[in-house]
Structures are given as C-alpha cells and as structure tokens.
Amino acid sequence: MKSQLSRNALAIARRHRAVPSLARAQSTTSDPSSSSWTPALPAGTSRAYDEALSYLTSYQSRSLARLESLRKLPSSPESSAEIDRLEVEAYVNDPATRRTFRETDGRGHMDKSVMRHLAEQRWKRQGGLDLLMQRVHQLNVVPDLLPDLPSACPLTLSTTSTSTSASAVEPGSIQSSSVLASPPRLTLQLFDHPSTSSPEGQFTLLVVDPDSPSPETQSFGQRVHYAKVDIPLSVLSGEIDLFDQSLGKEVLSWEPPAPAQGSGKHRYVFLVLRQTSSAPTREGFDLRSYLSSEGRSAADVVGITLVRSQWTKDDEQHISDTYRNFRGVEAPVYGKPPKEMKYGYPLSAKAVQAEEIRREAWDNAVAELESVVGEPRV
C-alpha cells in the first residue's frame, strides 16, 4: 500500500513538471515566463504540494484550450477583452510566471496581460495608489485643480540626483526648487491598451502650479510650467521618459519652479491626460476650463503626481535667475497682507460700528472747529 502511494505521488509530480513547458507548447506567443521553473520540493516529498501543482497544470490546460478556441473567432473589442481575461486566468498562478515577475517587476514583459495584471495588483495592494490618492486629496489638488480623480496609473518622477526607480520622488514631498532647474525624469506605466484599434494612444503632459501669486487680484492663479502634446504611449512605454525631446510635440518649454519669497509652499502638479487639441496658455490658466473646452474630464487624467517647493536662502540665487531669465523681471518679495485685505473690509459688524463711531467723532470735531474759527476748514 505504501509503495502504491509513493508511485502515485511520483506520477503526480511528473505530470506537474510539465507546467511551464505545457504553457509554451500550447501558446508560445502568450507565455510570459522566460525560463524553466524548478519546483521548491522534490517529487514525492509532499503529496499535498504535488496535488496542488497537478491541479494548477490541469486548470491551466483548460484555460489555454478555451483561449485557443476564442482566438479562432473573428476579432472584436469584446473578444479581445475576454482573451486578456483568459490569459490572466491561465498564467496568474503559474509558478514560472510568478518567478519572472518577482525578478523583473514585469519590465520587458508588459505586452503580456498577466504581467500588467500583476503590476496593477502590486500598485494597488502595496500602497502606491493609496499614497498618491492621500496626497492628492490632502494637499487639495482635488478640488483646487480637479473636481475628483477616479483612479490613476503610476506616474513616477525622479530627479537627476535620484535617477533610479528605487529612489523615485514620493508624491507630495518637498523638493529644493534648484533640483528642478532641469526637467526631471517622468515615466508612466499604463495597464490597459488605449480604447482604439491601435495599441498606442496619444496623450498630453502638463505641469501646473496652482499657487502662483497674482498681485493684480490679490489671490493665487494657475501657471503652466510645461506642456507637451502628441505623446504616443502604450503598455510598453513604462520606461520611456516623457520629457524626452524626441517624444511628442513641446508647446510650452520647461520653466523651472521658482517660488517667490513670502509666497509659501507651491504645489507643482504633473498630469498626463488623453490627447487634447489646443495648446494651453502659460499664464491665466484654468485646468477645469481647459478640460471642459477640450471635451475632457477628470476621468481622462491617466496619471498624476506632484511635488512641493518653497523659497529658501539656499535657492535664492536660482529663483532670482529663473525670474530674470524666464520671466524678464526681478523676483518679487511678498509679505503678509493686512487683515482688511486678507479677509475683506470691513471685517465684521463690530468693525463697521467702530468705523461709524470714528467718522462721527471726526465730523463733530470738524464742526466744532469751524464754529470757533468762523470759516469752513479745508
């Protein structure tokens, strides 16, 4: 009896050894694994382990059979979506696929739907999306720039001093403005193909400062520090720098962030949205109005991130040079406005009453003086 169980376990393990090779034999163009896989336990060591591998093999075989039959049907958006779903279903628990993703983070394999699925799950489950949404709402990008933000793909920003993805700039962090004297590195990983017949879509990149002081209106406005259109992107573009000069059409060149003294912290928001037809203006910009005029909405924002910066003594020379070279003026210095200007004049009903008392006292004093002198006081 014991030898019979051992033979059964060995047979099960042998069947399992075909898990990666079975996938390659049935669908060589869709197999996301790049090499053979060795089980963690030798055959016959654990019957439960061998049974689990056998189940994965049979489940994958059934999924691949359904996938092959679906590929023989006429192509349509519905069938393409179903093919992607079945590819994920067939390979998401494949040990070789899992190992490849652990080793590469999916880089070089994003043409496989299962790799995009795993990357998206990691982006959501390991807190990347949660951190981004927290900063976008905590720092009032919503609602100052956008009414809402349904979701977003990873838009990763790194400066010249942190050029690797492991040292990517955290969304909402405070950066020295001099670090952004040159455009940073910016990459976007899409998880889904654009909803067109082409695997590529056209996108627009904007960098907006919603905290640009406006002395004329005694308030803050939006200033565009960079704009580029006609950027071709696909699920395979995750390693491409969006600031690359050979990519897309630049309509507003890079203007380095230069937060003026006394103007507080500035938010510099980087947005990638589905293609727009008209170029934005650098000054007097309003993102909501711009999206509305282009027939777009917050749902068309596919990637977003931001950094903050403020005036410091160390950056004083950089900020002065930026104002002089890019705006043609000297860097302004702002101070705290009077309460009457900040909150509106008069401040309250009590302030109105106090002002009326002062005016009445002044008028009485003038009248008394005129009666003594005998002529109106001019």
Instruction: Report the C-alpha gap between 180 and 307 in whole angstroms.
Output: 10
Q: What is the DSSP letter of 43?
A: T
Amino acid at position 18, single letter: A
Residue carrying structure tokens 């009326």: 356
Phi/psi at 203 (5° precision): -135, 165
Q: Which amino acid is at 165?
A: S
What is the reported pLDDT for 354? 82
Give the SS3 label for residue 227: strand
pLDDT, position 347: 58
pLDDT for 172: 96
SS3 245: coil
Entry pTM:
0.77
Q: Which backbone phi and psi does 13 adopt, to 5 degrees?
A: -65, -40
Q: With contact defined as beta carbons under 8 Å apart, do 68 and 28 qualify?
A: no
The single-letter code of the amino acid at 5 is: L
Strands (E), the chain: 155-158, 185-188, 201-214, 219-233, 249-252, 266-274, 301-309
Q: What is the pLDDT of residue 250?
A: 97
| pLDDT string in tens for the chain (378-residue length) | 444 434 444 443 333 333 333 333 333 334 555 456 788 888 888 889 889 888 988 999 999 999 898 888 888 878 888 888 999 999 999 988 999 999 999 998 998 999 999 999 999 999 999 999 999 999 999 999 999 998 899 999 998 654 444 478 999 999 999 999 999 999 999 998 765 556 789 999 999 999 999 888 888 999 999 999 999 999 999 999 999 999 999 999 999 999 999 999 999 999 999 999 899 999 999 999 999 999 999 999 999 999 999 999 999 999 999 999 999 999 999 987 666 655 555 557 777 788 788 888 988 888 888 787 765 544
